[in-house]
Structure 1
């Protein structure tokens, strides 16, 4: 089984943080759109009309700090998730290919799905405290608030406060829902990306090295991820951000992910599960593109240093 080097794992984490710097404003918009009109029937006056409007209003009222809320926690989460993917995805896929008698180079659809699912579960569990903090920090707005508001000065303070109120269990609130949500995304993201990329090259439309190939493949992967993951993502954001009672596992609005899902559909309608989907797509397409590009150039730079 092929094991990634320590250098490649570090580079993957740095590439993830680079991509997160650019995609975080859309993540802030997604979080706020998902919480807007929470458990309110249609007819309310929306503060935000879409992802670009959310980013514009956040910038106007809160400045750069507002559109980059939760960036430190987002770095930690994205870095951990990418480290899990680079460390586990390919070794796990190769092992499954070997067990099933498939060639190591073959992108066999069932094994890519299984590898993506398992790496997503591992990454979501490891990063749950940071995703929890990120969601709460991004929801906070002193000017145009939506959802429950909590003001943390930093991600570190947020972790301390959550731990002091609820212990270690509080940091892993919603972990099962997070693992389900992330596994949905990772199970389809890389298979869709590689499938689209291969088809573009096979049809002769573009070369594999063409940057447009990466962008188109990333856009296809982003669209599929949004389709599969948005309902679970909206559910998780609301579970993370709901008011809580110290010492209790559940919250005051929802007892768990299924309860959140059912209440959202019953009160707001099924399309409410796709609140923030446009912002999700706006985030994930450049995120994947920048992530893969940064990883490639950081790898080249590191290799050039070793040759000198």
Structure 2
């Protein structure tokens, strides 16, 4: 009698060393985030300039701001702060996608053991947790990025002319103390949680629902889910992103009294509403969406594709 065959059709994920397997989501997230950052850096720079322009100075379109920047400082100014953007992805982007992927894998493993399925609330909790942890650790890179992108708004003789992200981090900490690197940490964390809730939870759930109710190929399903996630993330997180940007750029926007313009998150929210109106939070929605959606689509698509290539489809 022929002996039964051993189970040789192990999935790709079972053939990977456990330590390497745990690191893969973070390495994938880092690579995908950096590619996406290089692609959308000009849009992000214009978005930051728009958010630092208040209502009283007149409404400028993204195109007029971009034209002014290029005319004044040349095309490369659109990539101002790229080193900080890449450093931010190395820290924040790696952690948020890596942690979310790790949390989601554990939720799926537990649901298989219990004979249940992962619901939207569980995915949302994974996104919120990953966003909060990543944002707190990566806040110094956010501060450096905002300062570098906004430096071109100053008169030439007053610019700080940071040579790199590390130079910006060192000078900010030297002049304002180490804790100044955590300026705007509260709205940064809230923004990250709302972004991750909108992006990662909606991406995972959308992909699941599209697979359940359509016959789309894996690539089309992933691309559509990433686009939906980009829109949800932009809409939910934009108010927090504006407040974060204003707070992290305060050293350049102080009042004549020498005191900071905003004393904190709630004070910034209140002053923006009082002086510029509630709709100011969504005035820059399309530039923000054009920054979030491509980044979301590129990063999530690449991360999903690389994870499935290395670990096998989930």
TM range (shorter): 0.7 to 0.9
Q: TM-score, normalised by structure 1?
A: 0.81
Q: TM-score, normalised by structure 2?
A: 0.80
Report whether the alignment pairs 1:28 with 2:59.
no
**Contact 1:85–1:123, Cα closer than 8 Å, also in 2:** yes
Deviation at 1:32, TM superposition (A): 0.8
The within-5 A match list for 1:192-271 is 192-204=202-214, 206-210=216-220, 213-243=221-251, 252-271=260-279
Deviation at 1:274, TM superposition (A): 1.9
Counterpart-to-counterpart distance in 1, 2:252 and 2:245: 14
Deviation at 1:295, TM superposition (A): 3.3
Deviation at 1:245, TM superposition (A): 11
The within-5 A match list for 1:129-140 is 129-140=140-151
User: Which residue, out of 32, 47, 54, partners 1:15?
Assistant: 32
What is the CA deviation profile of residues 55-106 of structure 1, one whole-angstrom value per residue up to 9, with x for unaligned ones?
3433333233211111111111122223213442244345567889985883
SS in 2 for 1:5: helix
* Structure-2 change in CA distance of 1:6 and 1:199 (3 Å): closer
Counterpart-to-counterpart distance in 2, 1:136 and 1:70: 8
User: Which residue, out of 200, 216, 219, partners 1:190?
Assistant: 200
* Structure-2 change in CA distance of 1:106 and 1:64 (3 Å): farther
RMSD: 3.2
Counterpart-to-counterpart distance in 2, 1:221 and 1:290: 12
User: Which residue, out of 263, 276, 286, partners 2:284?
Assistant: 276
**Contact 2:45–2:80, Cα closer than 8 Å, also in 1:** yes
Partner of 2:170: 160
Counterpart-to-counterpart distance in 1, 2:153 and 2:309: 42
Partner of 2:75: 64
**Contact 1:8–1:299, Cα closer than 8 Å, also in 2:** yes
**Contact 1:24–1:68, Cα closer than 8 Å, also in 2:** yes
Number of residue pairs matched by the alignment: 289
Structure 2 unaligned runs (5+)?
Answer: 1-17
Report whether the alignment pairs 1:54 with 2:71.
no
The within-5 A match list for 1:44-193 is 44-46=57-59, 48-49=60-61, 51-93=62-104, 106-141=117-152, 150-193=160-203
Max Rg structure: 2
* Structure-2 change in CA distance of 1:142 and 1:89 (3 Å): closer
